[in-house]
Structure 1
């Protein structure tokens, strides 16, 4: 994937958010960690999800609520014109939940999505995954 210089990269799962800025030039991806804003805790995410035997630990609502909080942060970022481009890398379930809450302005700034859980990986590992996408 060709990631523009200055693009933001959000790496998300159901519990963590990491933000990076691409400082690479000429198609090279070089990620610099950014400060992560506070994520407002939500009691639950989207309506209609219930616990089941497939999810006995009841974490679904908390994870969906976290994704909703991340979407709010990213929406505010897009609406305040802090950046032009955004790449979202998220665990598949989290990415689905994020999409439900994106503002149309945020959607217009997306340069791509990678449906993969890369939280906890180094910036170099994330950059390598972007290069392969």
Structure 2
């Protein structure tokens, strides 16, 4: 995958969000960390009915159900933030690297403009990894 200068990389999983920009050349990318916004994952649209039940009966709710809803809300917040950045013309080239579940949830929320600037998606968990590993994985 070619990684043009200025491309933004969103590295996402159900709990974490990292942002990088390619400050190097297309042939020898160098990922520079960007500030990550403080996102409020309150969009439980992926399971609104279940979330209402869980909120009312918190003590009896299965922890895995709560966790899945929180993860879906987190990645939805990331997708919405990315949509806003694309619409504001602050991101014009984007690559998203996310675990398969998160990537699937994010796709449900992509704006058409985000789809137009999306250079690629990688269904893999890469949060917390060194930038060299991310670049190597993208070139593989």
TM-score (norm 1): 0.89
Distance, in Å, in 1 between the alignment partners of 2:80 and 2:132 is 27
Distance between the aligned counterparts of 2:26 and 2:107, measured in 1? 30
2:54 aligns to what? none
Residue aligned with 2:18, SS: strand
Larger-Rg structure: 2
Give 4+ residue runs of structure 1 displaced > 6 Å after superposition: none
Contact 1:19/1:33 (8 A) holds in 2: yes
* Structure 1 portions without partners, runs of 5+: none
Residues of 1 paired with 2:19 and 2:46: CA distance?
A: 24
Unaligned runs of 5+ in 2: 52-61
Contact 1:11–1:19 (CA<8 Å) still a contact in 2? yes
Number of matched pairs: 129
> RMSD of the TM alignment (CA)?
1.9
SS at match of 2:95: strand
Deviation at 1:48, TM superposition (A): 7.5
Which of 47, 61, 64 is equivalent to 1:57?
A: 64
Post-superposition Cα deviations, 1:1-38, rounded to whole Å, max 9, x if no partner, equal 11111000000000000000011214222100000011
Q: Which residue of 2 aligns with 1:31?
A: 31
Q: Distance in 2 between matches of 1:21 and 1:10?
A: 9
Q: How far apart in 2 are the matches of 1:26 and 1:101?
A: 29
In structure 2, C-alpha distance between the alignment counterparts of 1:96 and 1:111, rounded to whole Å: 17
Alignment of 1:66-81 (within 5 A): 66-81=74-89
Q: Which structure is higher in helix share? A: 2
